[in-house]
Structure 1
Amino acid sequence: MESLEKTVLQLRKKQQEATRLRKKAEKQLKEVLSAQRRSSSGLNSIDKKIESEKEDASDVSDVLNQKNSQLASIERLIQAAEERLTREKEAIEQTEQEIEFSENPEEKQYAESRLRSLRDHVEELISEIKNRQKTAKKIADDVAKFDTIKSKISTKIQKQSQAKPSLRETMMSSKKDAEKFVKELERRKKSESSVKKALEKASSKLREFLDKQRKTAAKKKATKKKATKKKPARKTAAKKKATQPKRKQPKRKQPKRKQPKRKQPKRKQPKRNPQEKNVKLFFL
């Protein structure tokens, strides 16, 4: 009985320890899987960001190429207008000389008309050059702006690409740890299950033993009850005897006990004087 109870207690402690280790393995596996999910999610997020940034960079590059083409075209137009302006100015100088040295009024009048036309054309060219220069400056500012945006996007892509190896390494290590903890959890579950089965078996035996003890105790109690049910008849007879008057029995004379004789102490005789003794002898 005691050994069986001790076995049950030991198995309960083992089950508690096995449950604790199983829960610990479950917690470790949960943490590792969480780290793996975070790493995987981080990688997917980085990949998505890199793809988005690349698309943005591509769009910015397209706009930048377009702006650069516009700027190059305007710069060519400005250069062509400046070249025409230079020619027109030379033509004005030449016409002014023709007017100055013309002898024929008709030639002078024609030259003056041509001079007015050249001067109007020069003013138009100067106005055109100024407008195109303003446009070119605006486009150049846009080009610088888009260059900055493209540079920032490239920096982001570079940083995100540098973060990927560490996340990949974390994901791989988490994957290996997860496989290890899955095996550990399976082992802990098997251990807990075997201890649980052993405990159930021992507990079942202990219950059977206790049931037998209770049954035997109940049988003994039942037999005692049966025995106590028969005893009241004897009690009634004893009660009847008690109700009848008791007969007086003659008193028996008890023999007197002899008292042991006490030894009386001898009296000491007083010592006699030798002269008295002689006197007694003399009288005799």
Structure 2
Amino acid sequence: MASLENQVNDLRKQKQIAIKERKKIEQQLKNLRSTEKRSSSSLVSVDKKIELERENISEISNILNQKTSQLESIERLISEAEGRILRDKESIEQLEQEIEFSENDDEKQDIQSRLNSLNSHVKELESEIQNRKKTARKISEEVSKYSSLQSNINSKIQKYVKSKPSFRDLVNNSRKEAEKISTLLSQKMKIEGAVTKSLDGLLPKLKEMLAKKAAAAKKAAAAKKAAAAKKAAAAKKKPARKAAAPKRKTAAKKAAAAKKKPARKAAAPKRKTAAKKAAAAKKKPARKAAAPKRKTAAKKAAAAKKKPARKAAAPKRKTAAKKAAAAKKKPARKAAAPKRKTAAKKAAAAKKKPARKAAAPKRKTAAKKAAASKKKR
């Protein structure tokens, strides 16, 4: 029994340890799978970002090429206009010289008209150059802006490209570690399955043994309870038997009891007053009907010596009215038959009231006293 319980406890501990290790390995595998998934998703997102940035940079490059070509064309036009202005100025100088040396008025007017047209053309070219220079400044600002954007995008693309190998390494390492952990997890699951199988084989036997043990304990408790009830019933019956038959005293015990209590027999009887005698007569009427104890001659002589005064005392006589009233008050007690006592009750009464042996002798009536005095004379 104990060995089977120990085996079950050991298997349960092994199962708990196996479950704990399996859960730990499952958590590691879960973390590795999540790391691999995050790394692969990060790698895909980096590729997407690189493609998007490359599309942006291609658009910016196209815009930048357009702005650059516009700036170049404006600069070319400005340079051409400046060249025309220089040529027109040279022609103006020549016409001014010619007008100085001309003598004819018609020639002067013709030269002056040509001079005026050249001056107006120069002014137009100068205003055009100013406008084109303003446009060139705006375009140059836009070109610088797009150039900075292009450089930023290029730096981002380079950053993304540099981060790709790290994500790729994380994916590969996580995959390798996950494969190792998965093999270890399968081993732990096999161990757990074997322990569970062994435990499932032993548990029914243990339950059967525990059921038998519980039944035996229940049976023993019921037997113990029945024995206790039987003992209690026997204990209730025994005290009645002890009280039924009183123990008889041996002669040696009686002699020892008589030695222990001699003083009560020799003690002088207490004298009762008339009131006490009347109360005793009311309480104990049955004793009046009892036969008086006979005294021996020696006892009578001793009593006559001790009580000489009472011989001359006249007894109290009851009147006829008093006797009739006493007879009316207590008629039942005189006619009542005295209850008979069993031997057990007599023995118990003798144990409870030993003092009655030493009680004072009953007083004699006047007639008895007179008869006794006549005999003694």
Please indicate the TM-score interval, normalised by the length of the shorter structure: 0.7 to 0.9
Q: Which moved more, 1:194-203 or 1:69-78?
A: 194-203
The residue number in structure 1 matching 2:165 is 165
The residue number in structure 2 matching 1:191 is 191
1:184 Cα deviation from its structure 2 partner: 2.2
The residue number in structure 2 matching 1:39 is 39
The residue number in structure 2 matching 1:48 is 48
**Normalized against structure 1, the TM-score is what?**
0.79
Distance 1:81 1:233 in 2: 144
Tell me if 1:101 matches 2:101.
yes
The residue number in structure 1 matching 2:90 is 90
User: Residues 81 and 228 of structure 1: is their aligned pair in 2 closer, same or farther, counting only changes over 3 Å?
Assistant: same
Amino acid at match of 2:140: A
1:55 Cα deviation from its structure 2 partner: 1.8
The residue number in structure 1 matching 2:212 is 212
Identity in percent: 49
Distance 2:23 2:248 in 1: 89
The residue number in structure 2 matching 1:144 is 144
Query: Per-residue displacement from partner, 1:94-149 (whole Å, max 9, x unpaired)?
Result: 22222122222111101101101101110111121122122223222322222222
Q: Which moved more, 1:220-229 or 1:39-48?
A: 220-229
User: Residues 199 and 110 of structure 1: is their aligned pair in 2 closer, same or farther, counting only changes over 3 Å?
Assistant: same
Distance 2:161 2:34 in 1: 23
1:247 Cα deviation from its structure 2 partner: 6.2
The residue number in structure 2 matching 1:69 is 69
User: Residues 251 and 57 of structure 1: is their aligned pair in 2 closer, same or farther, counting only changes over 3 Å?
Assistant: farther
The residue number in structure 1 matching 2:110 is 110
1:156 Cα deviation from its structure 2 partner: 1.1
Distance 1:139 1:228 in 2: 118
Amino acid at match of 2:203: S
User: Residues 235 and 156 of structure 1: is their aligned pair in 2 closer, same or farther, counting only changes over 3 Å?
Assistant: closer
User: Residues 90 and 30 of structure 1: is their aligned pair in 2 closer, same or farther, counting only changes over 3 Å?
Assistant: same
Query: Per-residue displacement from partner, 1:158-182 (whole Å, max 9, x unpaired)?
Result: 1110110111011111112122222
Secondary structure (helix, strand or coil) at the match of 2:245 reads coil
Distance 2:237 2:105 in 1: 185
The residue number in structure 1 matching 2:126 is 126
1:191 Cα deviation from its structure 2 partner: 2.1
| Gaps in structure 1 of 5+ consecutive residues | 253-284
Secondary structure (helix, strand or coil) at the match of 2:103 reads coil
Distance 2:233 2:126 in 1: 150
1:224 Cα deviation from its structure 2 partner: 5.2
The residue number in structure 1 matching 2:335 is none
Amino acid at match of 2:166: S
**Normalized against structure 2, the TM-score is what?**
0.61
Q: Which moved more, 1:65-74 or 1:126-135?
A: 126-135
Distance 2:233 2:93 in 1: 166
Q: Which moved more, 1:49-58 or 1:157-166?
A: 49-58
Distance 2:103 2:215 in 1: 157
Secondary structure (helix, strand or coil) at the match of 2:173 reads helix
5 Å-filtered alignment, 1:201-280, equals: 201-223=201-223, 238=238, 241-245=241-245, 248=248
The residue number in structure 1 matching 2:325 is none
Secondary structure (helix, strand or coil) at the match of 2:119 reads helix
Distance 2:233 2:167 in 1: 96
User: Residues 90 and 4 of structure 1: is their aligned pair in 2 closer, same or farther, counting only changes over 3 Å?
Assistant: same
The residue number in structure 1 matching 2:17 is 17
Q: How many residues align?
A: 252
Q: Which moved more, 1:178-187 or 1:28-37?
A: 178-187
Secondary structure (helix, strand or coil) at the match of 1:103 reads coil
Distance 2:12 2:242 in 1: 62
Query: Per-residue displacement from partner, 1:230-260 (whole Å, max 9, x unpaired)?
Result: 77786677566434315648689xxxxxxxx
Query: Per-residue displacement from partner, 1:36-71 (whole Å, max 9, x unpaired)?
Result: 122122212212221221122112111101101101
The residue number in structure 1 matching 2:316 is none
The residue number in structure 1 matching 2:181 is 181
Q: Which moved more, 1:103-112 or 1:227-236?
A: 227-236
Amino acid at match of 1:115: L
Query: Per-residue displacement from partner, 1:200-246 (whole Å, max 9, x unpaired)?
Result: 33233212101011112333444555666677786677566434315
Distance 1:98 1:32 in 2: 97
